[in-house]
Amino acid sequence: MRLALAQLNTTVGDLTGNCALLRDAYRRASDAGADLMLAPELAITGYPPRDLLAKRRFVQDNLRALDELAGAVGETGLLVGYVDNNPNRPGRDYLNAAALIHRGKIVARRYKTLLPTYDVFDEDRYFQPAEANTIVEFAGVKIAITICEDIWNAEDRGSGRLYRRDPVEELATTGQPNLILNISASPFHLGKESLRSEMLRAVALKYGVPLAYCNLVGGNDELVFDGQSLVFDAAGKLLTQGAAFREDLLIVDIPGASVPPVVPAVHCAAIHDALVLGLRDYVRKCGFKSVVLGLSGGIDSAVTAALAVAALGRENVMGVSLPSQFSSQGSLDDAKALAGNLGIRYEVVPIQESFAKLRGSCQELFRGLPEDTTEENMQARIRGAILMAISNKFGHLLLTTGNKSELAVGYCTLYGDMNGGLGVIADVPKTMVYEIAGYINRDRRIIPEASITKPPSAELRPNQTDQDSLPPYEVLDVILKRYIEESQSAAEIIAMTGYDEKLVRDITRKIDLNEYKRKQAPPCLRVTTKAFGIGRRVPIAQRYVE
């Protein structure tokens, strides 16, 4: 049997556009003599559709799109994800579904059994699980059709398995499949590829049949889907592997000759590519072409600018320096040099006079009170207002350049440097920002040396550095990873790292207290196992202290 795996970049809600992608891939699969083409989970609607599913008409439209698509299917079969109505009550309105289409007709419909409802996933909110799982016969092959999470039940989630049902086991015991198919929308995070590959290989081996896994690719708000579709033979040998972070159409004969796995990219390369894809797709899918960002001369804005150029081309990126009396000449030079190295448009808009006037307008009110972070925030907010004015006037999307470490502890100004439509590196800890900078400079110096080597500073008062308020980033990032990604308590972190108790508790407290800032942050591209955003839902008005 010849399979085609269409690793497509769908857009949420774009039923027409998604079906056009499907038809185009289908034609190529058909030309290549494939017996069956796989497309990702919910390829018709895009993933995740979230509360678009509250629109009854949206689901009707997706069913109509599926029917029209069926009309274009000939001898080569098509397995594609869509949303189906749930005919059985009581229950949820919808099913997360896969249609097997052949010769213009839907010949089988199968439904997702395990509905992820944790981290960034909310599928219990929308879908009823499948009642039962049965084998589908196609072209003489007995096929076990599964949708994403259905195949993940072996995974131990901290304190044990999450689900009582095992759809693959149900399929194996009620029929004897010759082939397992899995259509997915499995988002990237650091380390996910190897986890996924090992898990899928183990399933192929356990049941002794070939397994084909077709994943979504592309950015959708916070989520970046990495593609990297996989096909294993019955012995768990890799037959083919899809490209990472771009569309691909794999053609594979089952059984076929095994191939050596593509060695996973070094992790900063993977993160770099994930961010480029997430950034490009957010801009494109929101209907923008170009972006603007503030260039401080520091490493965060430099890395963000380089990612933007990789995503959109240098002609679509504008960098703006917004110097004040506290900006060093070095920072200005570094910003300018970066813009020159990247070949992007570069403008300088000094904020000194606006700052003086804004501060002057509050002079009466603040009489007798000492200067504090109020005046620092004012500078950040003037910069934010100017960048938004440029965004408004020219139609460039403003990018937010803050990293995860500063967003975690609130070392950033709401309505100031937090302004923007997308937090490009907001899930990248500062220490990893340095690694990505090294990767960006791997062939030639794009980010100026000084931006990498000088002590990080917000330059909001004379001689300020980040480490006036924060521990070294090497220490901070360890605490953040343990607290945010691994849900360790302050006491556990102290015991396991030997760090000073006061330091650790100060940091975890800062993280808790700054939930209100993150509530108003733009969407952040997710690259770690726990990003700020939809996958982390912490109350603001709360008083728990560990």
Residue among 286, 340, 445, 501 that touches a second copy (CB under 8 A): 286
Measured between its terminal Cα atoms, the distance across the chain in Å is: 57
Among positions 491, 495, 500, 501, the unique one binding a second copy when judged by CB under 8 A: 491
**Strand, coil or helix: what is 129?**
coil
Q: Which is nearer to a second copy, 247 or 253 (CB)?
A: 247
Q: Which helix (H) or strand (E) holds 434?
A: helix 430-440
- DSSP helix, strand, coil percent of the chain (3-state; round to 5): 40, 20, 40
Q: How far is the CB of 489 from a second copy (least distance, A)?
A: 4
Catalytic (active site) residue 148: yes
Q: Which is nearer to a second copy, 100 or 344 (CB)?
A: 344
Q: Within positions 197 to 256, which residues make up the interface with a second copy, using CB under 8 A?
A: 219-221
| Rg of the chain in Å (alpha carbons) | 25
Please select the residue that binds a second copy; options are 189, 456, 523, 527, rule is CB under 8 A: 523
Please report, as residue ranges, which positions from 370 to 399 form the binding site for a second copy (by CB under 8 A): 372-374, 377-378, 381-382, 384-386, 388-390, 392-393
Residue 517 a catalytic site member = no
Quickly list DSSP for 206-245. HHTS-EEEEE-EEEETTEEEEB--EEE-TTS-EEEEPPBS
- In this chain, which stretch among 64-72, 83-91, 226-234, 471-479 interacts with a second copy, using CB under 8 A? 83-91
Strand order in the sheet with 238-241: 136-138, 141-147, 179-184, 211-215, 230-232, 238-241
For a second copy, what does the binding mask look like between residues 347 and 366, x meaning CB under 8 A?
Answer: x-xxx-xx-xxx-xxx--xx
Q: Which is nearer to a second copy, 105 or 519 (CB)?
A: 519
Sign for the pseudo-dihedral over CA of 405, 410, 413, 418: positive
ω into 177 cis (within 30 of 0): no
Q: Name the segment binding a second copy (CB under 8 A); options: 20-28, 198-206, 295-303, 530-538.
A: 530-538
CB of 164 to a second copy, least distance (A): 5
Annotation says 41 is catalytic: yes
Of 196, 522, 528, 531, which one interacts with a second copy (CB under 8 A)? Answer: 522
87 binds a second copy (CB under 8 A): no
Spot the catalytic one: 68, 75, 105, 112: 112
- Exactly one of 110, 196, 285, 482 binds a second copy (CB under 8 A); that residue is 285
Q: Which of 19, 123, 148, 412 is catalytic?
A: 148
Q: Looking up tokens 């620092």, which residue turns up?
A: 376
Stretches 12-20, 66-74, 256-264, 295-303: which one binds a second copy (CB under 8 A)? Answer: 12-20
Q: Which of 23, 28, 72, 122 binds a second copy (CB under 8 A)?
A: 122
- The interface region with a second copy, picked from 136-144, 187-195, 325-333, 513-521 by CB under 8 A, is 513-521
CA nearest to 92, candidates 59, 118, 120:
59
DSSP code of 110? Answer: E
DSSP-derived letter for residue 128 is P
- Binding to a second copy (CB under 8 A) within 301-320 occurs at none
Contact 475, 367 (CB under 8 A): no
Q: DSSP for 177-197?
A: -SEEEEEE--B--TTHHHHHH
List active site positions: 41, 112, 148
